Amino acid sequence: MNKQINIEDLGTKDFKDTWDYQEQLFQSILDVKIKNRREATAMQTTNYFLFVEHPHVYTLGKSGEMSNLLLNEAQLEQKGATFYKINRGGDITYHGPGQIVGYPILDLDNFFTDIHKYLRLLEEMIILTLAEYGLETERSPGETGVWLGVGTPFARKICALGVRASRWVTMHGFALNVNADLGYFDNIVPCGIKGKAVTSLNVELGVERISETEVKAKLLKHFMVLFEGNNS
């Protein structure tokens, strides 16, 4: 089993270009697995973890409802945003400046073959990272992601998750609001969940800006421990 994880920070990159790149890496892993099975070879598969920040974009997962996008085409253009229907799970979400997006493209055969555990560990990575900033965050029963104030009238989501997996290879991932413009969430029903708010790390801490470089380092530290991976 290969637990080495190649880390790439793509900086600011268009959503569609990043999606195409994910698909390329995803398919390269699948190709190795298919070859191993067909030809009884034992080539190692490669694992990746991509960090990226997208320009304003709304994405709708396979099980999502178009009615959860509250903008028409002209309004999207006016706001400088794009829209894509994509092949991950979940409903609608927003990506944009001030948000850390992470796309682990892993062969779970190298770690464990359990998608439920995979999602819970991604959530745990976020929970442990935010704890370093003094925030107590948690899961909301039946709702993927990381929240504050669960069970109160002030429940608010700080991190969304949505993944795709085939033959135990993953793509897509998480979006953590660090310095996000929360106004863009007003144009959707986030994750298809009505009546619950969205928040950002800088808002919760009452500061203008948090170092995204610092947050990425903390996320990566916890990810490597939870997945028992290495990037040496």
Q: What is the CATH number of the domain that holds 95?
A: 3.30.930.10
DSSP state of 113: S
* Structural domain that includes position 16: 5-227
- Residue 7's identity, in one-letter code, is I
Q: pTM for the whole thing?
A: 0.94
With beta carbons less than 8 A apart as the criterion, state whether 39 and 33 touch.
Answer: no
Catalytic pick from 69, 108, 126, 191?
191
Q: Does residue 232 lie in a domain region?
A: no
Binding positions for substrate = 88-95, 160-162, 173-175
Pairing of strands 197-198, 169-177: unpaired
Residue 97 lies in a domain: yes
**Which tokens in the block code for residue 218?**
């903390």
pLDDT tens for the 232 residues of the chain, in order: 899 999 999 999 999 999 999 999 999 999 999 999 999 999 999 999 999 999 999 999 887 889 889 999 999 999 999 999 998 877 888 999 999 999 999 999 999 999 999 999 999 999 999 999 999 999 999 888 999 999 999 999 999 999 999 999 999 999 999 999 999 999 988 655 555 789 999 999 999 999 999 999 999 999 999 999 998 5
Q: Is residue 60 part of a domain?
A: yes
Q: Are 162 and 123 in contact (CB under 8 A)?
A: no
Is the residue at 14 inside a domain? yes
87 assigned to some structural domain: yes
**191 catalytic residue (yes or no):** yes
Q: How many domains does the structure of the chain reveal?
A: 1
DSSP state of 27: H
